[in-house]
Amino acid sequence: MKKIEVIQNVLEANESIAKRNQQLLDKHKVFAINIMSAPGAGKTSLILHTMSRLRAKLNIAVIEGDVASTVDAEKVQNVAKAVIQINTQNMPESCSLMAAMIEPALKELPLDDIELLLIENVGNLICPSEFTLGEHKRVVISSLPEGDDKPIKYPLIFIDAHAVIINKMDLLPYVDFDIATFRHSIAGLNPKAEIFQLSCKTGEGIEKWCSWVLKQLETNAKTIEASHTS
């Protein structure tokens, strides 16, 4: 079928651009995280919390992916070292960022002055699972009001996530969400994924998440250094 062939070509092209993006990031010692979730699960809030806690230690840039609007970019622009907005509305793939959209954005960023790049993907639990961007870690946020069945209904995005965040823990008394059920589903799909429970409203759990980010960044830096000296 013609359309499937075309999609296959798009995915292969995406892989090769993503590799190039990661090489560029590694060359400049920039650690990149791809943050994915359904609309309204808290990607921008997580980015704001992460920046406010880590900005004393790291220079942080943000790439904001949205179908339309610049509202998220406006929220982060005073805190980030640099912000690039990507609007996907008129692009061939509007429901996800793709490596080919990140490539020109990286050229706009002052990579030598940045240690951490947070990429906020388009709000979607389906399309972003198909496209790597060149990121070092993939993170999926689920929020309590969405319900504990999301890993069963949208398995692909959870299967290759390095970390899964359960956000809006402050709403636990008011919604039907069984933490054990959710954790059990993640363990079945992706037992290596780190799971963080936090609330971007109260700040609960943010510190643990930020420690993990720092640790991943340091580990990645050591790996790159080792590969240069070997």
Residues of this chain that bind a second copy (CB under 8 A): 1-4, 6-7, 10, 38-41, 66-69, 71-72, 89, 92, 94-95, 122-127, 143-147, 149-150, 152-156, 168, 170-171, 174-175
**Nearer of residues 2 and 192 to a second copy, judged by Cβ:** 2
Pairing of strands 31-37, 116-120: parallel
CB 152 to a second copy: min, Å: 5
CB 28 to a second copy: min, Å: 30
Give residue for tokens 């009001």: 145
Residue 56, Cα to own-chain centre: how many angstroms?
Answer: 21
CB 9 to a second copy: min, Å: 8
**Nearer of residues 24 and 179 to a second copy, judged by Cβ:** 179
**Nearer of residues 75 and 183 to a second copy, judged by Cβ:** 75
Closest by Cα among 118, 171, 119, 120 to 143: 171
**Nearer of residues 109 and 144 to a second copy, judged by Cβ:** 144
Residue 60's beta-bridge partner residues? 116
CB 101 to a second copy: min, Å: 14
C-alpha dist (Å) from residue 125 to 95, 96, 129, 141: 10, 9, 7, 10
Give residue for tokens 């840039």: 61
CB 117 to a second copy: min, Å: 22
**Nearer of residues 121 and 220 to a second copy, judged by Cβ:** 121
Asked whether 163 and 142 are in contact (CB, 8 A), the reply is no
Eight-class DSSP state of 127:
G
